[in-house]
A and B are shown apart, each in its own frame.
Chain A
């Protein structure tokens, strides 16, 4: 992953992960797998884990421990109402930013 990609992802990964959770509840590895499917091939599982811990601390998701066939129980994350409101704000911010950038891009051609 390029340095620029890493930097840009830093500001948007939280929104991306919440957007994935808005489709359906998931545990850490499922989210990493979804991201990899969508082309974020170098994303580290630990990065997603740390992010989930943060959104949990901030009360954007609900967490349920579900027993797993091997190893410790898995923590399944569900987007709650606060998280939903946060995600809507993320999309508004994103639309604004991408529109402005697109204008700059067109203008520069």
Chain B
């Protein structure tokens, strides 16, 4: 999934440029912010499944903004991610859920039930 994710964000030249800028911003974070940001990023790749390049680029931009702000304010990493980093990571990705691959399956499931319901009523 990680490879696919990178492929999707490198889809267009513009997105490739934005992706490189994003990577540079994360690389430039001082410790321990860099480590935390990269650990979260890794989790996003496995959990996220965002299939739309524009959404992925937007998400990464917002994510980098969050860390730049934390560095500027000197906010401890724990106050950013909270007691449960998994919870935080999943909430963050879900904010961009409009274009997740699972949405296609959600629509398919909803449609299947609606069709079954119609067939039931027609009997």
Binding site for B on A (CB under 8 A): 1, 6, 28-29, 42-47, 49-51, 53-54, 57, 68, 70-72, 74-75
Contact = CB atoms under 8 A, between A and B. Distances in A.
Interface string B53-74: 0000000001001101111110
A47 B65 contact: no
A51 B79 CA distance: 15
Given A71-B68, A72-B72, A47 B82 contact: yes
Given A44-B80, A44-B88, A54 B95 contact: yes
Given A45-B75, A46-B88, A57 B80 contact: no
Contacts of B73: 29, 71
A39 B92 CA distance: 23
Q: Is the interface of B mostly helix, strand, loop or mixed?
A: helix
Given A44-B88, A68-B72, A53 B62 contact: yes
A45 B92 contact: no
A93 B96 CA distance: 25
Contact of B95 (A57, A72, A75): A57
Name the interface size band of chain B: 20 to 34
B69 A46 contact: no
Given A44-B80, A51-B91, A72 B96 contact: no
Contacts of B82: 42-44, 46-47
Contact of A1 (B78, B83, B92): B83
B35 interface: no
A24 B68 CA distance: 25
Interface string B89-121: 001101110100000000000000000000000
B81 interface: yes
B83 A53 contact: no
